Amino acid sequence: MEFRLLGPVEVWAAGSPLCTGQPRQRAVLAALSVDAGRVVPWHVLADRVWGAAPPHDCRAALRAHVTRVRRVLERGAAGVPWSAPIAYRCGGYLLDVDRQRVDVHRFRHLLARSRVPDYADEQRLGFLREAVTLWRGEPLAGVSGQWAERVRRTWCGEHVDAIVAWARAELRVGDPSAVVGPVSDAVDDNPLVEPLTAVLMRALAAMGRVVDALQLYAATRRHLTDELGADPGAELVAAHRAVLRGEDPGDAASNRIVAQSGGAALWSLQSQTDRGGAVSSWHRRNRPTTPTERLATRSCETSSSSGCCTARRCGSCSRHSPSDWA
């Protein structure tokens, strides 16, 4: 049995999806799956499902939803010796399942393995490829509420980190063509996350598209100045310098600054934009043909009703601790 949260909330058994019921039941399933193998206190579970607007008899309503979810899992586990997929223990509920059967935990496990220096480049690349393919769209799709939104933002940040790490690994083994399409899409969704632009520039240059890489840098620089009044960061400047010098994009020396910056640096500018509402939306149905044209298009697209950004953005939430983000 597999629990999928990196997209629509789903449970798969014997190669087929189970019917998980109404949205509240999917919310309960997601809230338990995030802490698979651990007891979730009932009041924490209720807060994840209803937030600040719980029903009158919250505990009874929660018990009813948990019972329905348990029945779904028991039907899916028919013939498997699994007597209590969800158990009540110590004032909370436990989803008794191996965490590796939950895609987000599998994703994090693969990322951790990719960072182990004892593995060869090809092995690390294999871990990263598997990790990024676990994503099927917006995480926790169909689950509403403040808790889901906080978790979604955090996971999207981890996803971008994974895309950058995967793209660098592809460049190290000499396959820039695999990078350009997916990373261009990620840049569209996260226009101010400079490591994404930097690795896309390196991939374009490796394919002989040096002019496109330099134009992308120029457009990104203008975008940063116009939206945030900021200059490109050290990593983007290093990528620009590497393209001008014709450096090998897979060279460890040319990427040293990336390793020093760490994943948290990905969100320094993006979180500023989240607070200021500065990034303009980009509509996929009118998709420009090159990364530079895509970036130029974003600068003039705003919400017709409010004049503010309508793009889906990912960044860390400054109001909550990591424990709130699962």
**DSSP codes, 179-239:** HHHHHHHHHHH-TT-HHHHHHHHHHHHHTT-HHHHHHHHHHHHHHHHHHHS----HHHHHH
At 98, list the tokens. 């191996």
How far apart (Å, rounded) are the C-alpha atoms in residues 292 and 238? 19
Decide: pTM greater than 0.85.
no
Over residues 48-62, mean pLDDT: 93
What CATH code would you report for 1-144?
1.10.10.10
Question: Pick from 259, 255, 224: which is nearest to 242 by CA?
Answer: 255
Helix (H) / strand (E) containing 295: helix 291-298
**Position 265 pLDDT exceeds 70:** no
- Residue 84: Cβ within 10 Å count: 12
Residue type at position 180 = V
pLDDT in tens, 32-53: 999 999 999 999 999 999 998 9
Question: How many Å is the Cα radius of gyration of the chain?
Answer: 22
What is the average pLDDT score of the chain? 81
Give the span between the Cα atoms of 45 and 266, in whole angstroms: 31
Give just the sign of the alpha carbon dihedral 158, 159, 160, 165.
positive
Who contacts 41 (Cβ-Cβ below 8 Å, separation ≥6)? 91, 92
Domain ranges of the chain: 1-144, 151-325
| Pairing between β-strand 92-95 and β-strand 39-41 as defined by DSSP bridges | antiparallel
Pairwise CA distance, residues 148 & 154, whole Å: 10
How is residue 209 written in tokens?
């598209």
Q: How far apart, in whole angstroms, are the C-alpha atoms of residue 217 and residue 291?
A: 10
The confidence score (pLDDT) of residue 310 equals 31
pLDDT digits (tens, 9 = 90+) for 75-115: 876 656 555 689 999 899 999 999 999 999 999 999 999 99
Reported CATH class of domain 151-325? mainly alpha
Q: What is the pLDDT of residues 182-224, one digit of tens each?
A: 999 999 999 889 999 999 999 999 999 999 999 999 999 999 9
Per-residue confidence band for 307, with pLDDT thresholds at 50, 70 and 90: very low
**pLDDT at residue 146 is higher than 80:** yes
Averaged pLDDT, 280-298: 44
Q: Give the residue-averaged pLDDT of 150-155.
A: 96
Long-range pairs of 228-235 with CB within 8 A, sequence gap ≥ 24: 228/192, 228/269, 228/272, 228/273, 228/276, 228/278, 230/269, 232/194, 233/194, 233/265, 233/268, 233/269, 234/261, 235/194, 235/195, 235/198, 235/261, 235/265
Percentage of the chain exceeding pLDDT 90: 65
pLDDT tops 50 at residue 14:
yes
Higher per-residue confidence, 243 vs 314: 243
Tell me, what amino acid is at 102?
A: V
